[in-house]
């Protein structure tokens, strides 16, 4: 089991917590729920409803989308990465399976946990939400660029 101090040391320089002081990170860790997963264990299942997000503290997880009998590997998550953040604001279904690739420790942040965080440590909740928003914008920009690039691939040169 990883101690809170070790969790803080792992997460301190990760993008999601880059604006947190050590005291703020400790406050966050005090209200997040650590969960252990074994290799191959499903953390979230595609199309299930969710009410929480997860932050990877140790280990790795695979994000896999399933459709029409096919599986598409979307990402491998490492310490400091997070997923499921949409479930904090939207009750829609999960968009992919997330499966632990090895023994992993994740922090679960539920809607209720976020509400508690905002009530007890509003600055920490604000910084967390701003960081999530910033990272989601980065993800969206990359996704948009890949989409635009995919549209341009079949076009012949202008002078042809």
pTM of the predicted protein model: 0.88
Q: What is the pLDDT along the chain (160 residues), one digit of tens a residue?
A: 788 889 999 999 899 999 999 999 999 999 999 999 999 999 999 999 999 999 999 999 999 999 999 999 999 999 999 999 999 988 889 999 999 999 999 999 999 999 999 999 999 999 999 999 999 999 999 989 988 888 887 666 777 5
Which two three-digit tokens encode residue 100? 């632990």
Q: Are 56 and 79 in contact (CB under 8 A)?
A: yes
Residue 131: CB partners within 8 Å, gap ≥ 6? 15, 16, 17, 18, 19
Cα distance between residue 58 and residue 145, in whole Å: 30
List alpha helices for the chain, DSSP H: 4-11, 22-31, 111-120, 122-152
Name the β-bridge partners of 70.
Answer: 67
Cα distance between residue 103 and residue 81, in whole Å: 16
Q: Which residue has the tokens 């948009």?
A: 144
Every domain of the chain and the residues it spans: 4-152
pLDDT in the model for residue 46: 97
Phi, psi angle pair for 14, to nearest 5°: -80, 150
**Which of the following CATH numbers is that of domain 4-152: 2.60.120.10, 1.20.120.1200, 2.40.50.100, 1.10.287.3510?**
2.60.120.10
pLDDT in the model for residue 154: 67
């Amino acid at each position: 089991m990883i101690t809170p101090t070790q969790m803080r040391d792992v997460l301190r320089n990760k993008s999601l917590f880059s604006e947190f002081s050590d005291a703020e990170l400790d406050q966050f860790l005090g209200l997040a729920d650590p969960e252990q997963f074994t290799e191959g264990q499903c953390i979230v299942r595609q199309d299930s409803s969710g009410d929480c997000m997860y932050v990877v503290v140790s280990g790795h997880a695979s994000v896999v989308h399933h459709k029409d009998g096919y599986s598409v590997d979307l990402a491998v998550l490492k310490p400091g990465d997070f997923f499921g953040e949409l479930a904090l604001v939207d009750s829609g279904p999960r968009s992919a399976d997330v499966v632990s690739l090895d023994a992993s420790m994740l922090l679960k942040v539920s809607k209720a946990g976020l509400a508690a965080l905002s009530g007890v440590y509003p600055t920490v909740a604000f910084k967390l939400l701003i960081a999530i928003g910033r990272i989601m914008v980065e993800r969206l920009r990359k996704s948009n660029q890949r989409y635009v690039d995919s549209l341009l691939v079949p076009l012949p040169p202008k002078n042809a």
